[in-house]
Amino acid sequence: MRERGGAAWLNVMSAPAPIFVAGTGRSGTSQLANVLGEHPQIHRIPIETRFIIDPGGLRDLADALTIRYDPIVGDDALRRLSDLLTVRLVGRRDRDRGHTVPEAIGERHYWDAVGRLWTELVASTFDESVPAAGLGHADWPAGPFEPQSHRRAIPRYFGDRRELIEILRRAVDTMFGGAAADAGKPTWCEKTPFNLLCMDFLWELVPEATIVHIKRHPVAVVASHVDQPWAPTTVDGALAWLKPVYDRWLTWKTTADLTERRYVEVKAEDLATDWPGQRRTLFELLGADDFATRSTFQSHNLEHRNDQFDPGTREYIERTLDRVIPAMGYA
């Protein structure tokens, strides 16, 4: 464990605060979320929910209805959020667990939160007339199924951003808090790797949250990426994908004020080397009693990629990430 917040850690909590798990991807985020979700006080949201930080999600909406507001930008943001919440997340099943996001959270909690959002975010709606394709050309008549109007939303403008954040926070509480309550647990844990690049917004949304950044040696992360169907399949491609992620995190880390933030960094390798001791320390930092979870970190699961690259390729990766590797605490 390398980092933690300041004064906020002095208070002992009766139950852990909400937790966001973050990383580069292929760094142990899923396994860490499994561990946390097996604790009696922490419910793991079973899949990556995506609607907070993904394009078209709550983070984009927060700017569109405040600092980037105009009626067109706001309408577009609402439309994209609606598509995300009512089409994409409803129709996409997680490849490992088989859930859609509403199923993973609980249909009632999910749709209660989504339905309430529109009444709180939309000032009015109207039907905009859509010109026919043949307008101005008598010999180009409109088709029989051509839409005659386009539904538009007039979004609310939030001069006080805190009012909007409170609305978005209630939606998250309804979904994640409801799921945790159904599981009989007082708090929740959500894992999306690129939470790593959105920590300031996550703390704006849930100020008391703990963000746990799990790290793995960058060479092993590159090696794992080239084996994934969703990632570049070459070393150069994986480096092009990962280096900006590392650089953005490093830039954030050098300027962030973590005095009052609950931020924990942990290496997957350290967890594997001394699992009981590191697990106990981790739960202590989260404000929870130690608990012997079924899921663990084991060295053999991390070391199998050590020889994936020949010496020349490994040296090339290390040279490309020469600033990143030591900054993450690796030799």
Considering the chain, what is the average pLDDT of its residues?
Answer: 92
In this predicted structure, the answer to whether residue 326 has a pLDDT above a threshold of 50 is yes
Alpha helical stretches, state H, 151-233: 161-172, 178-182, 199-205, 218-225
pLDDT exceeding 70 applies to what percent of the chain? Answer: 90
The structural domains of the chain, ordered by start, are 1-41+187-331 (3.40.50.300), 49-135+143-185 (no CATH)
Kindly give the pairing relationship between strand 187-191 and strand 19-22.
Answer: parallel
DSSP structural state of residue 260: T
Q: Among residues 312, 314, 264, 313, which one has the least CA distance to residue 285? A: 264
The predicted-structure confidence for 215-259, as pLDDT tens digits, reads as follows: 999 999 999 999 999 999 999 999 999 999 999 999 999 999 999
DSSP structural state of residue 252: H
In this predicted structure, the answer to whether residue 2 has a pLDDT above a threshold of 60 is no
Segment among 39-43, 149-153, 156-160, 180-184 with least mean pLDDT: 149-153
Cβ(19)–Cβ(36) under 8 Å?
Answer: yes
Counts of helices then strands in the chain (DSSP H, E): 16, 7
First to last CA, the chain: 16
Q: What is the mean pLDDT of the segment spanning 113-121?
A: 97
Return the amino acid letter for 117: L
The DSSP string of 272-322 is HHTHHHHHHHHHHHTT------S----HHHHHTTTTSS-HHHHHHHHHHTT
Q: Is residue 262 within a helix (H) or strand (E), and if so which, with residue range?
A: strand 262-267
Q: What pLDDT, on a 0 to 100 scale, did the predictor assign at position 149?
A: 76
The predicted-structure confidence for 20-69, as pLDDT tens digits, reads as follows: 999 999 999 999 999 999 999 999 999 999 999 999 999 999 999 999 99
Q: What pLDDT, on a 0 to 100 scale, did the predictor assign at position 142?
A: 61
Q: What pLDDT, on a 0 to 100 scale, did the predictor assign at position 5?
A: 53
Higher pLDDT, 95 or 63: 63
The predicted-structure confidence for 64-91, as pLDDT tens digits, reads as follows: 999 999 999 999 999 999 999 999 999 9
In this predicted structure, the answer to whether residue 146 has a pLDDT above a threshold of 90 is no
Give the long-range contacts of residues 71-74, CB within 8 A, separation 24 or more. 71/154, 71/155, 74/153, 74/154, 74/155, 74/156, 74/157
In this predicted structure, the answer to whether residue 123 has a pLDDT above a threshold of 60 is yes
Confidence band of 10 (pLDDT split at 50, 70, 90)? very low
The predicted-structure confidence for 171-203, as pLDDT tens digits, reads as follows: 999 999 999 999 999 999 999 999 999 999 999
Q: Among residues 283, 286, 209, 262, which one has the least CA distance to residue 5? A: 262
